[in-house]
């Protein structure tokens, strides 16, 4: 799974809680598996791989932070 060498907190400091890092890693693995399966389905249905990847990027861009302050 693609993961940074260190996870940063909003203030730029390094996250040190190992349990949180494990949750992040597990979530990323699950997201990657789902995206891979969806890409394979799209390609098997003769959808443009490039277009499907663009849609996945757009999905990520639409994500909202429900905890954003301000």
**pLDDT given at position 69:** 77
* Overall pTM > 0.75: yes
Contact between 25 and 3 under an 8 Å Cβ cutoff? The reply is yes
**pLDDT given at position 70:** 59
**pLDDT given at position 2:** 86
**pLDDT given at position 28:** 96
Intervals of the chain under pLDDT 50: none
**pLDDT given at position 43:** 98
- Helix 18-44 and helix 49-62: axis angle, to 10°? 140
* CA neighbor of 42 nearest in space, from 62, 59, 24: 59
């Amino acid at each position: 799974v693609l993961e940074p060498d260190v996870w940063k907190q909003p203030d730029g400091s390094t996250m040190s809680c190992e349990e949180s890092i494990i949750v992040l890693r597990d979530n990323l693995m699950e997201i990657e598996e789902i995206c891979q399966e969806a890409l394979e389905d799209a390609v098997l249905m003769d959808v443009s791989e490039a277009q499907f990847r663009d849609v996945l990027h757009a999905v990520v861009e639409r994500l909202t932070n429900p905890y954003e302050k301000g």
